[in-house]
Amino acid sequence: MAQKFEFKVAATDGAARTGVISTPRGEIRTPAFMPVGTAATVKAMLPESVRATGADILLGNTYHLMLRPTAERIERLGGLHKFMNWERPILTDSGGFQVMSLAALRKMSEEGVTFKSHIDGSRHHLSPERSMEIQRMLGSDIVMCFDECPALPATDEAVAKSMRLSMRWAQRSRDAFGDRPGHALFGIQQGGVNHELRGESAEALRAIGFDGYAVGGLAVGEGQEAMFGVLDYAPGMLPEDKPRYLMGVGKPDDIVGAVERGIDMMDCVLPSRSGRTGQAFTRRGVVNMKNARHQDDPRPLDGACTCPACRQYSRAYLHHVLRSQEIIASMLLTWHNLHYFQELMAGLRGAIAAGQLAAFVAGFHAERAQGDIEPL
Amino acid sequence: MAQKFEFKVAATDGAARTGVISTPRGEIRTPAFMPVGTAATVKAMLPESVRATGADILLGNTYHLMLRPTAERIERLGGLHKFMNWERPILTDSGGFQVMSLAALRKMSEEGVTFKSHIDGSRHHLSPERSMEIQRMLGSDIVMCFDECPALPATDEAVAKSMRLSMRWAQRSRDAFGDRPGHALFGIQQGGVNHELRGESAEALRAIGFDGYAVGGLAVGEGQEAMFGVLDYAPGMLPEDKPRYLMGVGKPDDIVGAVERGIDMMDCVLPSRSGRTGQAFTRRGVVNMKNARHQDDPRPLDGACTCPACRQYSRAYLHHVLRSQEIIASMLLTWHNLHYFQELMAGLRGAIAAGQLAAFVAGFHAERAQGDIEPL
């Protein structure tokens, strides 16, 4: 195991890169997709099953964990890895994004944000310093700067003002994080869809210096075209020798487009959340397993997929347990979706290493264009 | 694999017996506890995990499966074993008990019962002949006679009338079942808590002849003392060389008492249902994992238990995921409970084989009397 946090690019293909992030808790093959383990569990999955899908790293949510069971409790119990039985790397977000989307009665200032818990109404505070403290108590391997993420669309003026606040918070995060060998702190670029503001943000972050850099403030309603528009230039503004992380992305075609544009890490609740509602991601697009056309279908969801849901069950069974609201439906479809996402990442890594990314991407789109198999 | 259904008693200790039921789908070690897979899934468990707890056989519910996805659909899809990915033996109940407890607008006659589905209000019919047909379509290895089970307390007259109807239905079930090598048909003794009626029922069943015999009509509210009172004589009225199955039982101390009295098979939703509500069965009694005293406890639920919930997680974690209503709470606690029940059965089998049942039962009660470990 590496004793420190390191990133090595092994191969590039256009703007895309593949490599390895080494940490004391294990290696992360990039481009990497990080399943989301919001409340110290990837919903409906045992950690060993998440690992079996090919995940090298999980994401934990600071906002949820600070409210329940609390960071102090997790620290007393030996940290998040031990608590949730996942010994490999964990990235934690800063809590800022979810304060904005989930908490009640938020009060923002230069210092930080005060809010009420969506669970029990209790009052809490987050600031760069407090976020660093919480993420340290959790034992996170990759810590994110505390930032503000304005919803798009927003005026350039609002985006600029928010971005500059986030850059001051980035400096405070850096100062509060201190020196923690083997642990990484990532800065977060803001600036919305404005090229100039993205550049200003990147410069501010480079001046502070981080172990990795996130492209923040995307996947918040701007649409894929606008997001790709930003990704055409934003990753190139960030240091080439550090990992670049696109937060909260995304659908399989978002992931492919982001990797083509130089992104190394991503996270999204989509495969797990969709699994629980019966949406299955496949090579041939999204399949709604609740649809009655599956009720007599003895074929697997995807005959080429090697996950347990596809190897051991029929579409008819998956449909039945979904309709019956059985827990096994969430278990099997989440497993399938995470497996599919990790298989996609493995395919992207292999294609970049072989200098065949364009052909891989063409194949990806061609397979999806075929659509789901016909009903019997 | 055996080509036919066979039961061999290997050892006895007092009224208790241990042995093996051989079927074409595998062996069932007795005394056996059968987890309940109501709607073609043991809730919150993958079948391979159920097997890992030590289960040799599952129970499926005819009532639920006939309504959704329907027996006809399961037959077209290759039978229940293939459908739910469980290749070992399955016992199905007759549907009668659940028509009485779940369905709406029941109409009983000598012929059978008509009712409305609790799911969608659709109209259905069950009779001895239809129940045999459904259980055949499901592919059940052990088929139960269609019977009526009156709730206790009831007058002797009501119990006698109901028992005699069930005996006429037992004959019709036997006739409709026909000759199906490798598949077993079990008769069900009725008669409530009345010694004479139990004897009359046993005689009627022996005259017809079955591959196994259930003690029915218990665990319906009569209490443990009354149940044990019946079990002091009822199993002895049934053929010694056939398996004896106590339906719907029970709590661990019910199981121990039933095995002491000569019962070979049992089933109950308790370990899985309690797992979903946070009740954990342990050597030291039932532990309510929702209780706040666990929230900072780094110790396992049971340090001597080898299930994944006990080996890999703290009480604090189990408490947290229960409080957060995370699916993993149901997964881990169901696994633990099923593991505990199967371990108890293995202990009972070993003790009977060694002629040490009395000592085992004394140890069982002594350990429970200690109560749960003290909070830290």
pLDDT, residue B329, reads: 98
CB contact A70 to B (< 8 Å): no
Same domain as A167, residue A305: no
User: Is A251 within the bounds of a domain?
Assistant: yes
Q: Rounded CA gap, B227 and A326, in Å?
A: 33
Q: Rounded CA gap, A26 and B235, in Å?
A: 59
Residue A258: CB atoms within 10 Å? 28
Q: Do A320 and B45 touch (CB under 8 A)?
A: no
**Which of A166-180, A216-230, A253-267, A303-317 has the least mean pLDDT?**
A216-230
Total of domains in chain B? 2
User: Is A291 within the bounds of a domain?
Assistant: yes
**CA B58 distance to own-chain centroid:** 8
Same domain as A41, residue A63: yes
pLDDT, residue A152, reads: 74
Q: What percent of chain B has pLDDT over 90?
A: 93
At residue A3 the predicted structure's pLDDT band, cuts being 50, 70 and 90, is confident
Average pLDDT over residues A154-170: 96
Cβ atoms B217, B231 nearer than 8 A = no
Residue A30: give its domain's CATH number. Answer: 3.20.20.105
Alpha-carbon distances of A114 from A66, A106, A110, A206, B137, rounded to whole Å: 13, 6, 11, 29, 61
Same domain as A285, residue A146: no
Average pLDDT over residues A58-80: 98
User: Is B303 within the bounds of a domain?
Assistant: yes
Q: Rounded CA gap, A214 and A237, in Å?
A: 11
Average pLDDT over residues A261-277: 96
CA distance B310 to chain A (A): 12
Token pair, residue A215, equals 């492209």
At residue A344 the predicted structure's pLDDT band, cuts being 50, 70 and 90, is very high
User: Is A225 within the bounds of a domain?
Assistant: yes
Catalytic residue among A13, A56, A93, A264: A93
H or E stretch at B287: strand B285-288
pLDDT surpassing 90 at residue A221: no
pLDDT, residue A25, reads: 98
pLDDT, residue A172, reads: 98
pLDDT, residue B1, reads: 60
**CA A374 distance to own-chain centroid:** 33
pLDDT surpassing 80 at residue A107: yes
Same domain as B234, residue B187: yes
Q: Rounded CA gap, A284 and A303, in Å?
A: 11
- Whole-model pTM over 0.95: yes
CB contact A277 to B (< 8 Å): no
Task: Reply yes or no: is the peptide bond before residue B271 cis, omega within 30 of 0.
Answer: no
Catalytic residue among B56, B141, B267, B302: B267
CA distance A280 to chain B (A): 19
User: Is B174 within the bounds of a domain?
Assistant: yes
Average pLDDT over residues A339-368: 98
Question: Which structural domain range is residue B161 located in?
Answer: 6-268
pLDDT, residue A293, reads: 97
pLDDT, residue A262, reads: 98
**Of B235, B268, B301, which closes a domain?**
B268
Do β-strands B123-126 and B113-116 pair in parallel, antiparallel, or remain unpaired?
antiparallel
User: Is B273 within the bounds of a domain?
Assistant: no
Token pair, residue A139, equals 């034992």
Interface probe with A: pick from B43, B61, B85, most Cβ of A within 10 Å: B85
- ipTM score over 0.95, yes or no: yes
CA distance B279 to chain A (A): 18
Same domain as B283, residue B264: no
Same domain as B355, residue B209: no
pLDDT, residue A23, reads: 98
Q: Residue A39 is nearest to which of B296, B326, B330, comparing CB atoms?
A: B326
User: Is A375 within the bounds of a domain?
Assistant: no
Sheet containing B123-126: give its strands across. B104-108, B113-116, B123-126
Q: Rounded CA gap, A96 and A166, in Å?
A: 10
CB contact A78 to B (< 8 Å): yes
Q: Rounded CA gap, A22 and A56, in Å?
A: 11
**Of A243, A267, A291, which closes a domain?**
A267
Same domain as A249, residue A193: yes
Token pair, residue B197, equals 């009626």
pLDDT, residue A104, reads: 79
Q: Do A43 and B327 touch (CB under 8 A)?
A: yes
Indicate left, alpha or beta for A18 from its phi (over 0: left) and psi (-120 to 50: alpha).
beta
**Of B233, B268, B303, which closes a domain?**
B268
Catalytic residue among B13, B93, B254, B302: B93
Same domain as B347, residue B237: no
pLDDT surpassing 70 at residue A307: yes
pLDDT, residue A1, reads: 61
Same domain as B286, residue B173: no
- Owner of token pair 């800065």: A187
CB contact B314 to A (< 8 Å): yes
User: Is B1 within the bounds of a domain?
Assistant: no
Same domain as A61, residue A102: yes
Task: Reply yes or no: is the peptide bond before residue A150 cis, omega within 30 of 0.
Answer: no
Same domain as A203, residue A293: no
Q: What value, to the nearest 5°, has the Cα angle with vertex B14 and ends B11 and B17?
A: 35
pLDDT, residue B365, reads: 98
Mind listing the pLDDT tens digit of every residue in chain B (376 residues)?
A: 678 999 999 999 999 999 999 999 999 999 999 999 999 999 999 999 999 999 999 999 999 999 999 999 999 999 999 999 999 999 999 998 888 888 777 899 999 999 999 999 999 999 999 999 999 999 999 999 999 987 778 899 999 999 999 999 999 999 999 999 999 999 999 999 999 999 999 999 999 999 999 999 998 888 999 999 999 999 999 999 999 999 999 999 999 999 999 999 999 999 999 999 999 999 999 999 999 999 999 999 999 999 999 999 999 999 999 999 999 999 999 999 999 999 999 999 999 999 999 999 999 999 999 999 999 8
Same domain as B194, residue B45: yes
pLDDT surpassing 90 at residue A320: yes
